[in-house]
Amino acid sequence: MDNFFKRPVGAAVLYLNDLHFGKHLNDLNRCARLVPKDVKGMASMLSNTTFMSDDAKDAVIDTLVGWADDAENAESC
């Protein structure tokens, strides 16, 4: 298991980006700006996973994007 909390958020973004072959890089970069600890946490948990379906991989990105949306909305209030 890799602990992404000890590394820059960019390392977590690259790890998560590799799950989708670069398809969600813009989303992940936005998430890294708005919810960096969540991005690191998700990458840390997933690094210990041996198999993930494509649907599960999409759910990870969707969850992070939802958290980033919430953070962005909280900033604008």
pLDDT tens by residue, 32-73: 999 999 999 999 999 888 888 989 989 999 999 999 999 999
The pLDDT of residue 36 is: 96
pLDDT over 90 at 77, yes or no: no
pTM of the model: 0.89
Name, in order, each residue with C-beta under 8 angstroms of 38's C-beta and a sequence gap of 6 or more: 31, 64, 67
- Residue 15 corresponds to which tokens in the numbers above? 């790890």
pLDDT over 90 at 76, yes or no: no
Confirm if 62 and 26 have CB atoms less than 8 A apart: no
- In a 13 Å sphere around the CA of 48, the CA atoms on its Cβ side amount to 8
Residue 18 to residue 72: CA distance in whole angstroms:
25
- Residue 58 corresponds to which tokens in the numbers above? 């999409």
